[in-house]
Amino acid sequence: MSVAARWEKQGDIGIITVDSPPVNALSAPVRQGIFDGVKALDADPEVKAIVLICDGRTFIAGADITEFGKPPKGPDLRSVQETMENASKPIVAAIHGTALGGGLETALAAHYRVAVPSAKVGLPEVKLGLLPGAGGTQRLPRLIGPERALKVIVDGNPIPAPEAKDLDILDAIIDGDLKQGAIAFAQDLVAKGAPARRVRDIPIDASSLPANFFADFRKGLAKMRGFPAPEKIVQCIEAAVALPFDEGMRIEREGITELMASTESKAMRYMFFAEREVAKIPDVPKDIALRPINTAAVLGAGTMGGGIAMNFANAGIPVTVIEATQEALDRGLGIIEKNYRNTQAKGRLTAEEVDKRLGLITGSLSYDDIAGVDIVIEAIFENMEVKKEVFRKLDAILKPGAILASNTSYLDLNEIADVTKRPEDVIGLHFFSPANVMRLLEIVRGAKTAKDVLATCMALAKTIGKIGVVAGVCHGFIGNRMLSRYSAEANKMLLEGATPHQIDTVLYNFGMPMGPFQMTDLAGLDVGARARSEFPDLFPIDPAFPVFADILVAQGRYGQKTKAGFYKYGDDRKAQPDPDVEAIIAAESEKRGVERRVISDEEIIERCIYAAINEGARELEEGIALRPCDIDIIWINGYGFPSYRGGPMFYADTIGVDKVHAAVEKYRQKYGERGWKYSSLLEKLARAGKGFADWKDVV
């Protein structure tokens, strides 16, 4: 028997049990175990049917992603599946937890599938930039029809068992003990003389497909720019409809081989592990006792405070929202209610669910009402003196052990913590707007933040559906510090010859959801202008370059809200390049004696993206970011960096850190150390011919 699977008999039913923690992924020993188990039980004359089941928390969660790109060992998955499918006795896959990817594909090679009600099944390969490569694209359309199969595979989302039963992916739901239920199901098959039903032999009725089905589906894929997997999936389903099973399998194999080698899939697989890596904080023990978070309070009912409060209510945690005036409180609570009702109108929440969530949010004008809560998140405007005052007040009233969090996006958290008598309980929780939607939570660790406070906030992030990433204290933390460099270079290039539309187009084509100027128009030019004028120390300006946003604000151009910013806007809110803005920019160049020149697309990428990478390298050197993957997760989830490029640091590795370094040096020579600060890490990596994946080798 294999170390990862065992088999036994209960009466005339053979049982193969996979046991390979944590998620029973299809590693070589698991494949070998299933292969040997099926062969042995199929050859045993006493056995009439076979159950395939898993120990631990889940059915097989997929191929073993850690094996990808390594030389294959043991029987490949397809041979295991052929052995299963060709067995003379019916095989029943018994599913609990999540049967995903190769796991579901293995279940599809069984002859029947049963699951507990809480189980989920799915083919999430598309989220790794892949397609189901173990027959999923050929068997699923045969089992549930090509239309439904295409949607399931391109979505990649897990499907709850009851829905999967309705879709005909499952044959039965087992209430109660899965093993006993699956054995009873198998015995019933034997009693009925049911055949080993091979999914590969189920015919597909192509005539039932709507006309132009595939062409119409492809139109919907246009928005998934940069991702090659969905188109390849469509090709495989077309093959399933038009060609014999083995031909379809050949096309599927070609598709997955090509995708497996693509940079996009490598980036997305890297992201899968990066998301798990960021949860690990090297000096915080995994089993550290967490502080209970059963109640929360948010200071400020503005856009940010309201969004933060919704996160708690969504997770079932009662939250009190504090405001200074009844009017502000009513306005804030009103917006929260409106947001929930909009979601209800879209059918994503029922009226009861909305009422329940609203019932968890209480408004108050008095700090006395929050003295007993487990965590307070301050979300008032960015002003150090005001924040200090608020933290002194919180320190005076909150119960011992409560966590005091600030949502500051730039300010020195240590300075805030030090006004309290409990700096160990103070932490930064930097949410991204809209806070109820954006998945990122930058968790700022102060010099004195206690380890259990940090661990509690990491766990809290998960509870409220966020991905928490730890950052050290510096101006702008990990994400905004890099963004400052990215935006500053975009602004400078305007003076030198580029237009907002040109820069935005290049960065959009690179994969950003929108360029920096459209982004500024959306956020409001006045917001940044006000911050710069009120807090010049926080937002230092390079005197050699004008801040174009401020010039436009002076002319009443605040962005989308005034239908004029870096672009002009019609009623459709579509950004249109504005000759007036181009004239303002050109006049400024002339005033400053700057001869405008043609700026290449390459220069735009280098000056914006490489500037951010250089700053990221400096953050690693300074310990502000723990690992390159922390930066990548932040930029993908907080700033829309394209996931198929794997985040800025992964992207740097794909083009070569030596090339990035050479470009950064070129710009430092030209523009000086003020913008292009030296990173010794970048230089060391470039000299050693290494990438950020190996950054530990050079520090």
Is position 99 an interface residue for ligand 3H9 (rule: CB under 6 A)? no
Give the strand pairing for 575-577 and 567-569.
antiparallel
**Residue 146 bridge partners (DSSP):** none
Which of residues 98 and 679 has its CB atom nearest to ligand 3H9 in the complex?
Answer: 98
One-letter amino acid identity for 488?
Answer: A
One-letter amino acid identity for 128?
Answer: L
Q: Which stretch binds ligand 3H9 (CB under 6 A): 63-71, 163-171, 631-639, 674-682?
A: 63-71
N residues, the chain: 699
| Minimum CB–partner distance for residue 371 and ligand 3H9 (Å) | 35
**Chain-centroid distance, C-alpha 61:** 19
Q: Which residues between 1 and 30 bind ligand 3H9 (CB under 6 A)? A: 22-23, 25
Among 36, 64, 374, 653, binds ligand 3H9 (CB under 6 A): 64
Among 134, 460, 493, 564, binds ligand 3H9 (CB under 6 A): 134
Is position 73 an interface residue for ligand 3H9 (rule: CB under 6 A)? no
Among 125, 238, 252, 606, binds ligand 3H9 (CB under 6 A): 125
402 closest CA partner among 421, 383, 389, 388:
421
Give residue 636's region: left, alpha or beta (phi > 0; psi -120 to 50): alpha
Which residues have a Cβ under 8 Å from the Cβ of 281 and sit 6 or more positions away?
Answer: 454, 455, 458, 470, 626
| Nearest-angstrom CA–CA distance, 149 and 691 | 40
Q: Which two tokens stand for residue 284?
A: 């915080």
Task: Count the neighbouring beta carbons within 10 Å of the beta carbon of residue 671.
Answer: 16
Is position 124 an interface residue for ligand 3H9 (rule: CB under 6 A)? yes
| Minimum CB–partner distance for residue 210 and ligand 3H9 (Å) | 28
Is position 255 an interface residue for ligand 3H9 (rule: CB under 6 A)? no
Is position 132 an interface residue for ligand 3H9 (rule: CB under 6 A)? yes
Is position 630 an interface residue for ligand 3H9 (rule: CB under 6 A)? no
Binding track over 381-400 against ligand 3H9, x by CB under 6 A: --------------------
Which of residues 274 and 652 has its CB atom nearest to ligand 3H9 in the complex?
Answer: 274
Whether 665 is a known active-site residue: answer no
Is position 129 an interface residue for ligand 3H9 (rule: CB under 6 A)? no
Q: Which residues between 43 and 62 bind ligand 3H9 (CB under 6 A)? A: 58, 61-62
| Minimum CB–partner distance for residue 58 and ligand 3H9 (Å) | 6
317 closest CA partner among 294, 284, 287:
294
Q: Which letter does DSSP use for residue 73 in this model?
A: -
**Chain-centroid distance, C-alpha 94:** 30
Is position 71 an interface residue for ligand 3H9 (rule: CB under 6 A)? no
- Residue 500, helix vs strand vs coil: helix
Q: Which stretch binds ligand 3H9 (CB under 6 A): 130-138, 348-356, 478-486, 675-683?
A: 130-138
Q: Which two tokens stand for residue 414?
A: 């240590």
Q: How many residues bind ligand 3H9 (CB under 6 A)?
A: 26
| Nearest-angstrom CA–CA distance, 440 and 473 | 17
DSSP letters spanning 222-242: GGSTT--HHHHHHHHHHHHHH
| Minimum CB–partner distance for residue 80 and ligand 3H9 (Å) | 11
| Nearest-angstrom CA–CA distance, 98 and 529 | 50
| Minimum CB–partner distance for residue 178 and ligand 3H9 (Å) | 17
* List 105, 264, 442, 615, catalytic entry: 105
| Nearest-angstrom CA–CA distance, 497 and 495 | 6
Whether 353 is a known active-site residue: answer no
- Positions marked catalytic: 105, 125
Footprint on this chain of ligand 3H9 (rule: CB under 6 A)? 22-23, 25, 58, 61-66, 77, 98, 100-102, 105, 124-125, 128, 130, 132-134, 136, 273, 276
